[in-house]
Structure 1
Amino acid sequence: MANRTAITVETTIQAPVEKVWKYWTEPAHIQNWTFASDDWHAPYADNDLKEGGKFKTTMAAKDGSFSFDFGGVYTNVGEYKVIEYTMDDSRTVKVNFSSDGNATKVVETFEAEDTNSIEMQRGGWQAILDNFRKYTEAN
């Protein structure tokens, strides 16, 4: 397979890493933030957070016009530090969590796909990450 472009998005959340980790990994929370805009939602999420464990989140337009499943298999899980996985299309993702106690920085690096522009992919993943930050800080 050809080398893929790595794209990185990041945010800092005003919350301790334990809360950030919980909101990132628990299906009840995942369903509340895993979408890029308000006209989308995540009606289904399942997460077996361990090496070799699988996850799946359904992302759907609220008007019912389109939906897709985002899923993969975990390759590395280090509690409160790192989550790595391979998506169903064989691309890899690494998410790093670092905290100073009051705030947690989340840095997500993923391999680009070949359909959409790098800018569009970065924008979409950043929008989801920003939605995660807003959800976590508000709850």
Structure 2
Amino acid sequence: MESPAQKITVQTEIQAPVEKVWEMFSGPEHITQWNAASDDWHSPHAENDLRPGGSFKTLMAARDGSYSFDFAGEYVAVEEHRLIEYNLGDGRNVKLEFTSGDGSTKLVETFDPERTNPIEMQQNGWQSILDNFKKYVESH
């Protein structure tokens, strides 16, 4: 049995330079286009102040209007084109590492799990969002 303290990691390789990946990951006008784990969800609003001490808030909502919540937190560390680390409102930590390759970018996201849903469900949900991000970047 996995401990709730165990971190979860998801990752992807995006066929785009790190500068483009960084901009599309952090720009609110882009976040609203890719930040959903499935087609029946969307993010109609996003705010982002990408700097240590800055905050972010993305409204995540079911398309049928049945449920929504703010995904929000505060940035702990930001190293342009390399690292984004933040803490969520419930204290969980998330770290994203951007590694530039030959015209591609590897993105690795490591986060503390929440205690409500199974680890596998959380990993699959966050991976789905990362997969949507990859598709968005590579098609724009």
Quote the residue 1:84 is aligned against.
85
Name the amino acid aligned to 1:14: Q
TM-score relative to the length of structure 1: 0.97
Kindly report which structure 2 residues correspond to 1:94-105, keeping only aligned pairs within 5 A, or say none. Answer: 94-105=95-106
TM-score relative to the length of structure 2: 0.96
Quote the residue 1:14 is aligned against.
15
Identity %: 58
For the residues of structure 2 that align with 1:46 and 1:56, how far apart are their CA atoms?
5
Quote the residue 1:40 is aligned against.
41
Aligned residues: 138
For the residues of structure 2 that align with 1:43 and 1:3, how far apart are their CA atoms?
31
For the residues of structure 2 that align with 1:86 and 1:39, how far apart are their CA atoms?
27
Quote the residue 2:122 is aligned against.
121
Q: Secondary structure at the match of 2:22?
A: helix
Q: Secondary structure at the match of 1:65?
A: coil
For the residues of structure 1 that align with 2:6 and 2:130, how far apart are their CA atoms?
19
Q: Is the 8 A contact 1:17 1:101 kept in 2?
A: no
Name the amino acid aligned to 2:68: S
Quote the residue 2:25 is aligned against.
24
Per-residue deviation at 1:5? 1.5
**Large movers: runs of 4+ above 4 Å:** none
For the residues of structure 1 that align with 2:58 and 2:94, how far apart are their CA atoms?
15
Per-residue deviation at 1:3? 7.2
Q: Is the 8 A contact 2:44 2:59 kept in 1?
A: yes
After superposition, the CA RMSD in angstroms is: 1.1
Per-residue deviation at 1:101? 3.5
Quote the residue 2:54 is aligned against.
53
Residues 49-102 of structure 1: per-residue CA shift (max 9 Å, x gap): 000000000000111011111010000000000000000110000000001131
